[in-house]
Amino acid sequence: MTVDSTAARKPRRSSKRAGAKKAAGESELVQLLTPEGERVEHPDYSIDLSPEELRGLYRDMVLTRRFDAEATTLQRQGELGLWASLLGQEAAQIGSGRATRDDDYVFPTYREHGVAWCRGVDPTNLLGMFRGVNHGGWDPNENNFHLYTIVIGSQALHATGYAMGVAKDGADSAVIAYFGDGASSQGDVAEAFTFAAVYNAPVVFFCQNNQWAISEPTERQTRVPLYQRAQGYGFPGVRVDGNDVLAVLAVTKAALDRARTGEGPMLVEAFTYRMGAHTTSDDPTRYRRDEERELWEAKDPILRLRAHLEKQGLADEAFFASLETESDALAKRVRDTVRSMPDPDHMAMFEHTYADGHTLVDEERAQFVAYQASFAEESK
């Protein structure tokens, strides 16, 4: 999708002014679409999308949410071992994902299903690891989309190193590193910020502040709004309404263009909310109140764009109906594909630990063979 963004056309002016505001300590939220679906303007970031592009963003968010819901259900049915839902974070992911160019490189966490969708990774490929049948599921270099990273914050370092390489190559692409509010407390993220700043690396740090790190609220991570942390490292930070797909798209595009033109890193804090559990192994009723979620349901990223499309007469009933049919087809394809994923050979896990083998691995392999054989004995 090509996006005509005024902010993107004038990256220098936009980002510098955003930086100046931050220095004054304002915790302003960049917003271009209110929760009621009204378009509003922002002095530093603006965007002008065609009706088709707006419907495209809506379609991306709806299909991503449907895929995510299907994966959660598959976990409940025992088809996946675990699932990390992105419910509520669709705008943060689709807006930023659609801001990237094909030659940019993306380093995700384990929750970036919407970004993967934008990069062209088939959603079914995301499920193999969660089913336990492979260690990844896609070739990172096919779509410039790195494998999911579960070691919190480590991908910020990988992204920064990669971006330093991009700069050395003289390429004009950019790199984007995704991480959460909890990850922002990790040493790896602090080190990545330092290196990126000092080497002026073309990397955008995209923090989805969904306000929870499993059961820890953001108040346990920081005393200042997260985007303000960037100032101490010497690069600009901006807080964007993470449930506003237009604002996220405009801000991320400006940040990526800024990186591309040699102006260095930028921190984008997408202020959003994790509407579901941390993963299917988590029970958020143990640590947060239902009212909090209800408050955020009123800011739902999909409903606000739908309200805008309807109010402006940019989409008709036929569009919404055909999207429903497309969602059903996607869900069916996801179910069928997951159920037909072949189980890996159980012995394969011993094969790739050491290049030349190891006595401990040999011992464990023998134990496992004996363990499996014990079932055969029992069934006699």
Residues that bind ligand TPP (CB under 6 A): 111, 150-152, 179-183, 210, 212-214, 274, 278
Residue 90's binding partner, choosing from ligand TPP, Mg ion, none, with beta-carbon cut-off 5 to 8 A by kind? Answer: none
Q: Give the three-class secondary structure for 279.
A: coil
Nearer to ligand TPP by Cβ, of 179 and 193: the residue is: 179
Which residue of 11, 128, 180, 276 would you call a contact of Mg ion, by CB under 5 A?
Answer: 180
In the residue annotation, 59 being an active-site residue is answered as: no
Residue carrying structure tokens 């009123």:
298
Q: Give the three-class secondary structure for 266.
A: strand
274: tokens are 């994790």
Task: Kindly state the smallest distance separating residue 361's Cβ from ligand TPP, in Å.
Answer: 25
Which residue of 75, 109, 210, 228 would you call a contact of Mg ion, by CB under 5 A?
Answer: 210
Of 113, 278, 304, 308, which one is the catalytic site residue? 278
Closest CA to 235 of 262, 205, 265: 265
Instruction: Return the HEC string of 201-234.
Output: CCEEEEEEECCEECCEEHHHCCCCCHHHHHHHHC
In the residue annotation, 278 being an active-site residue is answered as: yes
Residue 152's binding partner, choosing from ligand TPP, Mg ion, none, with beta-carbon cut-off 5 to 8 A by kind? Answer: ligand TPP
Residue 278's binding partner, choosing from ligand TPP, Mg ion, none, with beta-carbon cut-off 5 to 8 A by kind? Answer: ligand TPP
Tell me if 31 sits within 8 A of 277, measured CB to CB.
no
Residue 111's binding partner, choosing from ligand TPP, Mg ion, none, with beta-carbon cut-off 5 to 8 A by kind? Answer: ligand TPP
Given the rule CB under 5 A, which of 34-42, 153-161, 174-182, 318-326 is the region that contacts Mg ion?
Answer: 174-182
Nearer to ligand TPP by Cβ, of 45 and 83: the residue is: 83
* In the complex, residue closest to Mg ion by CB: 180
In the residue annotation, 287 being an active-site residue is answered as: yes
Spell out a b/e string for 144-170, using b for 16 or more CB atoms within 10 Å of the CB, else e: bbbbbbeebbbbbbbbbbbbbebbeee
| Cα radius of gyration (the chain) | 22
Q: Does 181 bind Mg ion (CB under 5 A)?
A: yes
Closest CA to 160 of 143, 141, 146, 142: 146
**Which positions are annotated as active-site residues?**
274, 278, 287
